[in-house]
Amino acid sequence: MQITGGKDRGRKINPVKNPAIRPSKAVVREALFSVLGPQCCVGKVVADFFAGSGIMTIEAMSRGASQAYSVDSNSSSCALIRANFDLLKVSSEARILRMKVDQAIPRLASYGLKFDIVFIDPPYSEPQLGIDAIDLSAAAGIFNPDTVVIFEHRHKTVIPVCRTMTIWKHKRYGQTVLSFYRF
């Protein structure tokens, strides 16, 4: 895997070896950050729910995020993310929570955090987990009024209704769709 933008653009990181982990493709990552704009992450606080490989956290850090939190319940995912944070020397700004997203949200709220950008990439077979994460996060008060949530899902997936945010943009890249949410 290779970082697509920011100060670490072109740098290779440790690859995913677990076939159950589906990292976002480079073209999808580049397009996502193009939609958000060139300075989208500078000084921002970012969360990556269902982080898997942690590539979205890494891309945000490369683009100037001041703090980032990767959340995943899989121990091998968290070990890979940790190894890549160490490789890139971002361990002091980027944190990993090895737990389910619905358990991490109250923990993040207890830290008094407010996120500017949130990446949500649940297993393609369970899109409801992504919508639940948005609604739980809003209820926990961890979003700023201008928070942008990016939900990655399969293009044929019917997205459950989100009660707290609305979709302002869809972008399709092959089988992958990015749905951008805001208040």
| Domains of the chain by start residue, with CATH | 26-152+160-182 (3.40.50.150)
Helices (H), 65-164: 75-88, 101-110, 127-140
Q: Does the pLDDT at position 19 exceed 90?
A: no
- Report the pLDDT averaged over residues 34-45: 96
**Distance in angstroms (rounded) separating the CA atoms of residues 121 and 33:** 15
Kindly give, in sequence order, each residue whose CB lies less than 8 Å from that of residue 19, ignoring residues fewer than 6 positions away.
none
Q: What is the rounded average pLDDT for all residues in the chain?
A: 95
Q: What is the pLDDT of residue 18?
A: 83
Q: Does the pLDDT at position 21 exceed 90?
A: no
Whether 163 and 136 have beta carbons less than 8 Å apart is answered as no
Confidence of residue 164 (pLDDT cuts 50, 70, 90): very high
Q: Which amino acid is at 172?
A: R
pTM value is 0.95
Q: Does the pLDDT at position 161 exceed 90?
A: no
